[in-house]
Structure 1
Amino acid sequence: MSMLTPPGLGGKYRIKGDRYPRMRRPRRWGRIVAASLASVLAAAVLGWGTLQVIGIFSGSGPAKAADRSVKRAKCASAAPAAEARTGGRKAAEGKAGSKAEGKKAAGGGDDLPEPGDITVNVLNATSRSGLAKDTADELKKRGFKIGKIGNAPAEFDEKIKKAAFLVGAPGASTSDRMHVLGTQLAHTETRYDERDGKDVDLILGNGFAHLAKKKAATAALAELAGPAAGPGEPGKPGASPSAC
C-alpha cells in the first residue's frame, strides 16, 4: 500500500502511482425536482401579478370584468320593469288618443277655438258695481273678444252662489267655447239656451272674486288642447339615455 493511501482505506481506494480517488456526494434528485417546481411556481406567480398590474392600469383586468358583469346583471333585472313602463306609456297614449279622437269627433281636440275667436258677454249678477267692467277688461287683455257688458237678467240677479255661470246656444262649437273660457275661471256651471249666435254669456255670481291667475289659466288651456309628452320618452324633453 502506498504511503499516499489514507489510513483505513484500501482495496479499490488504494492509490497507485499518480492516481487518486474522486470522492463526491451522490446526487439527490428529490431536491432538484422540488427546486425546479418552486422556480416554475415563482415564475407563474410573477407573471400573474404582472398581468394584474397591467389590467388595473389598462382597465381590462378581472375587477373591470366583474364590474361589467354586475352592470349586465342590473340591466337584465331592470329590463322587465322598463318594458312594463313602456307598455304603461303606450296604454296611456292609446287612451289619450281615444280621448283626442272623441274630442275631435265632437268638434274639440285640435279644433278648439282660440280666445280671439270667442265673443264673451260679461254680465254682473251681484250687487258689486263695476265687477263686469273690470272682468271684461282683464279678459280682453287675455285675448278674448268682449261683447255686451252690463247687469244679468232678473232670473240670475243675486241667485248665483258659485263664481260664474256660462250660458250659450246648444251645439259642439258652443261647448268648445265654454271649455276655453272656463279655463280662466273656477267653480263654473254651464247652461244651454235655445237661441242663435255663438256668443257666450259669462254671468258673474256671488262666489266670484277674480279670474284665475294668468299662468294657471294658460296651463289649463294647454292641458285642454292636448296631453303633453311625459318625461323619459325617447326623443322628447326629459328623456334620459339608457345606462345599459
Structure 2
Amino acid sequence: MSFARVRALVVVGLLAVLALVFVVVALVRDTQGGTGLAGGCPEGWPLADVTLREPKDVKINVLNGTDQPGLAANVADDFRNRKFQVKKEGNEKKQVDDVAVLRYGPKGVGSAHLLRAYFLDNAEYDYDANRKDDTVDVVLGNAFQQLATTTEVNQSLGDLGSPVAPPGSCPMPEDG
C-alpha cells in the first residue's frame, strides 16, 4: 500500500471519528427534546390533543345556523358519506353569518383542524378550554355553500400545516 493511500485512509478515519463525536455531543446537549410537549405546561392549563385525525375517527354535531330548512340534515349526510361520525344534527338558536363556526374543546383540536380544511379555512373557531368531550360542533352559517372536494381538502390541509394547541393550552404528549 502506498504512502498516499495510507494518508488518505487516516484522514478519512479522523473525519469519521470527528463526525461521530459531533453527533454524540449534539444529541447529549439537545435542549429541544421536550419542546412542544406538556413538560413545560403551566399548572391548570388543559392538554390539547393535536393529533390530526382520519375522518372515521372524528365525531361531529351538525347544526343549522341559518333559516334554510333541512340544511343540517343535508350536510350531515355529506359528512356521513365522507366517513365522519355524525352524532347529532339540529338547529342553532341564533343565526350565523359566517360560512361556519367550529366549536371544540382541548380533546377536539386535531379534529377541528381537519374540519377547517372542509371549509377551506373559512370557518370561525370557537375554542372552549372547559369542554370535556372530543366532539366538534359544526354550526353552518348563511355564507355556507358546500363542503370542499377531496382534492380541495388535501390542498387545504397542506396549506394549514399541522394542528397547533390553542392559546391557553399545551400540546398533549404523543404517548398520552
TM-score (norm 2): 0.59
2:134 is the counterpart of 1:198: yes
1:176 maps onto 2:98 in alignment: no
Question: CA distance change for structure 1 residues 222 and 142 in 2, over 3 Å: closer, same or farther?
Answer: farther
Aligned partners of 2:76 and 2:89 also within 8 Å: yes
Distance in 2 separating the partners of 1:107 and 1:198: 9
**Any gaps of 5 or more consecutive residues in structure 2?**
1-31, 39-47, 163-176
Which runs of no fewer than 5 residues in structure 1 stay unpaired? 1-97, 227-244
For residues 69-84 of structure 1, what are the structure 2 equivalents within 5 Å? none
Mapped partners of 1:134, 1:206: distance in 2: 15
Return closer, same or farther for 1:200/1:125 CA change in 2, 3 Å cut-off. Answer: same
Alignment correspondent of 2:99:
163
Query: What's the secondary structure of 1:183's corresponding residue?
Result: helix
Query: For residues 225 and 107 of structure 1, what CA distance do their matches in structure 2 show?
Result: 15
Moved over 6 A (4+): none
**Aligned residue type for 1:134:** N
| Displacement after TM superposition at 1:151 (Å) | 0.4
Whole-Å separation in 2 of the counterparts to 1:218 and 1:141: 17
Structure having the larger proportion of residues in strand: 2
Inter-partner Cα distance in structure 2 for 1:210 and 1:145: 19
Instruction: Say which structure, 1 or 2, has more relative contact order (CA 8 Å, 6+ apart).
Output: 2
C-alpha contact 2:108 2:133 (8 A) present in aligned 1: no
Cα distance change, pair 146–117 in 1 and its aligned pair in 2 (3 A): same
1:126 equivalent in alignment to 2:66: yes
Partner of 2:143: 207
What is the alpha-carbon distance in structure 2 between the residues aligned to residue 202 and residue 129 of structure 1? 16
Residue 223 of structure 1 and its aligned partner are, at CA, apart by 5.1
CA distance in 1, matches of 2:160, 2:83: 17
Cα deviation per residue 1:47-100 (whole Å; 9 max; x = unaligned)? xxxxxxxxxxxxxxxxxxxxxxxxxxxxxxxxxxxxxxxxxxxxxxxxxxx9xx
Q: TM-score, normalised by structure 1?
A: 0.44
Q: Which amino acid is the alignment partner of residue 204 of structure 1?
A: L
Q: What is the aligned partner in structure 1 of residue 153 from structure 2?
A: 217
Partner SS state of residue 61, structure 2: strand
Determine the C-alpha separation between the residues in 1 that align with 2:138 and 2:102.
5
Number of residues of Structure 1 aligned to a counterpart in Structure 2: 118
* C-alpha contact (below 8 Å) 2:65/2:140 kept by paired residues: yes
Distance change in 2, residues 1:185/1:191 (3 Å)? same
1:197 is displaced (CA, Å) by 1.1
Could you say what the CA RMSD is over the residues aligned between the two structures, in angstroms? 2.3
Which protein is richer in helix relative to its size?
1
TM-superposed deviation, 1:222: 4.8
Please identify the structure whose Cα radius of gyration is greater.
1
